[in-house]
Amino acid sequence: MGKIKLKVLPVIAIAFVILVVGNISYRSFLNYQNIIVEQQMEHLMTISKSIGRSLELYVQEKEKGLRDLGNNIEYRIKEQENNLIDEVILNSLETFYLSQNKEIDNLIYININDNSFHSYPEDMQEEKFITERDQFSKEISYVKRTQESYAGNPYLDRDNTFSFNILEPVVVKDEIVGIILGKIKVMNMYELLVKPVKAGKFGYAMVKDKDGLILMHPVKEQVGYDVIKSRMQKYPGLDYDDLEKLLEKQMSGVEGSYVYYSYWWPQDKLEKVKKLNAFSPAKVSEDFWIVAVVMSYDEISEPIINYLLSNIVIAIVVIMIFSWVIFLSVRMIKNKEAYEMETRYLKEINKSTEELRIKDAELHHKRKLETIGRLTGGIAHEFNNVLTPIMGYSEMVLRNLDPELDSYDYVKTIHKSSKRAQEIIDQIRMFSGDKNIKIKYEIISINKILDDAISFAESVSPSNIKVIKNIDKNCGNVYANETQIHQVVLNLCTNAFNAMKETDIGNLKITAKNVKNKKLHNMEENIVDKKEYVKISFEDNGCGMDSETQEKIFDPFFTQKLSRKSSGLGLAIVQGIITKHGGSIEVYSEKGKGSRFDIYIPIAQNIESGKEQVYEDEILRGNEKVLVVDDDEFIAEMLEKGLVDLGYKAESMTDGIEILKKFDYIKNNFKIVITDLTMPEINGIQLAKKIKENNPEIKVILMTAYSEEPLEEYMRLGIIDSYLIKPVSAAQISRSIRELV
């Protein structure tokens, strides 16, 4: 086996040298070939630009000549009697035409006042001029409007040859009196400026318009052809892929070059050949023309082939010299590559297997959370429907009950409890992913929130953990949602308890104090402009975290307890709540020593506590005709009675079939429709669309206990005018009605 290896190794080494030397030689050949092609392309580009510049100067010269002719006619019109003007114009046209040595095919003077014309030579019949004038009426209109010179696009004239017009206005006393039209044959320009140019033995120059229509070509039969379409019709079996790519580059209006395969048109037997093409745009008329210079690739291949042959000879000599040296050297080398490759392969397999296992666990966990989200959404829906009559009827009783009675306080407690239950359900709906939640913010004491939340956390803390509080007496008020701040505190306490569960004696130290902006570190950009914050710290002596874990703890679904009871959402939710409140959260931790979480919430500035509550408790009455639609009879009945109690003319419907039967009655008799979203025969959005299609003046307010529908988008589209999240009361609906009407 060892002898076989010793024989194989020199062969491999020699093959390697052959590959290296061959690769170097081949790359050198390609580099030389590219240099030759680039040099030739630069030469062709120089020719193309030269032709383009010549075409532009040619047209500019004719424009200047026509401008001088116009000035001459203008001057002579001012000096002559009216009855001699026609003779003056004809004489001027004749003199200019003869001076151009037939480079201008025809001169026409158009009288703006009576649309009469004079031409030179005088063989232009009136009916022919009228026919041709229709082709360039837009050009005449442009000159009339702007009183500026204009070079039009090429067109087929009555002789079936390409021509284009240069128009020059004749202005007397700031008023256009006529237009001089000079007709130039494209073929004359080709014979004078393009045809003399040669590019090698078979090469030539050609000109196309911006759409690929051939204007100038050494083969007259090709003039007027569409570069692709006309040739495909005449030669349907040929390969036009490279030609289409070339045309696409040329039609972009920028200069460039391209090596492509095409044919020499129109030989009897068309064979695919390799060509070089350099092109540039020329601003000759209204749009640009494409000036292309074409050359056969074979004409530059001879020096390239000679260079290749010399490279091959040198490579053979080098390979022979190194082969002998390598043959002697590789005999002493042991082959370890196979073993190393196998080891790397096994490591990659193990790594891929581990990554797949982690991804599968994360996917399973995510699906479990989605299922929980849908379940909590359904629970929230049912609870909101149950709470609606409780909140609504308690509110009605409070409005009509003497505050001095003991029963008033009982009912008020029921109403407050239903409000608290609503906030708790809103938190459940946040977990379910409902995007239509309207979170209520108010001015509240941070000390009160901390006392309530920490007291609850202490009641559920493990027996081996002690909660130490160091909270300043007056940390101030914050503009926040009380339930969400409760959730933040409880989440951070729960995390600390979990981190210290293996500790013999655990200490959770909670501190709160006011701090100034300049004392904060690593603050997020969205709170840099705040001046004063309350800083709340949660410090434990638990297991701590390494730096890699700290970078991931705020990612959704990240948890170190994935297979157990953790949701993986706790700290992600905490960060989201704090950010929405204009604050930030920071973490400091060391493996084996514990962790500290610092949260910063801005102190409320110049906002009076209870401002929003005044608005919420305000009773707004009305007298409009209102229809309440809900498949829950208790909710529909409660809202109807509550709205009537507030002065509205309210009715209710609970049956979808009844709604459809009485739709004409609904659209003609009600100004506002309050509808539930989820109903059997027809849902709230379908009903709203039907109402808006028949009577857009009716205001539609949607009620829902839970929805994944884009309600804000429906409002933007005008399908609904507002929406309320259950549980709702008649007073809430009345406030919403008053905002709309």
- Among 129-133, 243-247, 461-465, 534-538, name the one with the lowest average pLDDT: 129-133
Element (H, E) at 273: strand 273-282
Q: Kindly indicate the confidence band of residue 674, based on its pLDDT and cuts at 50, 70 and 90.
A: very high
- Among 131-140, 330-339, 340-349, 489-498, name the one with the lowest average pLDDT: 330-339
What is d(CA 241, CA 356) in angstroms, rounded to the nearest whole number? 45
Q: Is 273 within 8 Å of 203 (Cβ atoms)? A: no
Ordered alpha helix ranges (H), 80-162: 85-99, 126-135, 137-146
Q: What's the CATH number of domain 616-740, 3.20.20.70, 3.40.50.720, 3.40.50.2300, 3.30.1700.10? A: 3.40.50.2300
The answer, yes or no, to whether residue 593 has pLDDT greater than 50, is yes
Phi, psi (degrees; rounded to nearest 5) at 507: -125, 125
Six-digit token string for 224: 């007027």
- The mean predicted confidence, pLDDT, of the chain is 81
CATH T-level assignment (fold) for domain 14-321: Beta-Lactamase (3.30.450)
DSSP 727: S
What is d(CA 243, CA 261) in angstroms, rounded to the nearest whole number? 7
The answer, yes or no, to whether residue 6 has pLDDT greater than 80, is no
Q: Is 366 within 8 Å of 557 (Cβ atoms)? A: yes
pLDDT value at position 168?
Answer: 92
The answer, yes or no, to whether residue 616 has pLDDT greater than 50, is no
Ordered alpha helix ranges (H), 435-569: 446-459, 482-499, 547-552
What is d(CA 734, CA 617) in angstroms, rounded to the nearest whole number? 12
Mean pLDDT (whole number) for 597-626: 67
- Span 166-192, pLDDT tens digits: 999 998 888 888 999 999 999 999 999
Domain 439-602 belongs to what architecture? 2-Layer Sandwich (3.30)
Locate the domains of the chain by residue range: 14-321, 439-602, 616-740
Handedness of CA 734, 738, 740, 741 (dihedral sign): positive
Task: Quote the distance between the C-alpha of residue 722 and its chain's center.
Answer: 30
CA torsion 571-575-581-585 (nearest 10°) is 100
Q: With 0.85 as the threshold, say if the pTM is over it.
A: no
Residue type, 210: K
Six-digit token string for 280: 């540039």
The answer, yes or no, to whether residue 396 has pLDDT greater than 90, is no
- Span 322-345, pLDDT tens digits: 777 766 665 666 556 666 777 787
The answer, yes or no, to whether residue 70 has pLDDT greater than 80, is yes
